[in-house]
Amino acid sequence: MRAIRVASAALLGVTALSLTAPTAHAARAGDITSFGFGVAPSTIAAGGQVILRVNGCHHRTTVSSGVFDTVTIPRGQSSATATVDWDARPGTVYEVSFQCGNESGQTDLTIASSHPTHHPTHLPTRGSHAGAGGTLAGFDLHEIGLGAALVAGSLVAAWRWSRRRTEDSSHT
């Protein structure tokens, strides 16, 4: 009888642990590259200009999307600009593809509902290559804390449940 209680508690713990895996951070194969890339701003009105940036690519980079003409960032440079088509539909999300050598990565560009205003953007030619803020090895610390709390809670509940069953059986 004790083996069943222990197995049940272990199964409950394993189930809680498996449910805390950060599946929301599962990445598409195209999202992980050896080079960094991005579009600034990530939301722009039709007709506006975006800055396409890349770092860590030792080849020329070709950037393409259905919302602007294909742009080439020459080897040794880290950015270029592209003008969004005037007929881009507001609220639409377009995929922007960066091709560096044999690797490619994608990001999204959203078309805003208003017309662009001209705000000059000055980006440095070189920037620091840093990780995502508030993460540990790509995991959000809040998610890790929540997962740990769920696992700890399920283990405590399983232990109390098995202890209560032991006390109930000793009184009979």
Residues 6+ apart with CB under 8 A from 136: 144
pLDDT tens-digit profile, the chain (172 residues): 566 665 666 665 556 555 544 433 333 444 578 889 999 999 999 999 999 999 988 889 999 999 999 999 998 898 999 999 999 999 999 999 999 989 999 999 999 876 545 555 555 555 555 555 555 555 667 777 888 888 888 888 888 888 776 666 666 5
Its pTM stands at 0.51
pLDDT at residue 26, as a whole number: 37
| Structural domain boundaries in the chain | 2-18+30-124+136-170
pLDDT at residue 148, as a whole number: 85
Rounded to whole angstroms, the Cα distance separating 139 from 129 reads 18
Domain 2-18+30-124+136-170 CATH class label: mainly beta
Secondary-structure breakdown of the chain: helix, strand, coil percentages, each rounded to the nearest 5: 30, 30, 40
pLDDT at residue 113, as a whole number: 77
Which residue pairs from 159-166 have beta carbons closer than 8 angstroms and sit at least 24 positions apart in sequence? 159/9, 161/9, 162/5, 162/6, 162/8, 162/9, 165/5, 166/2, 166/5
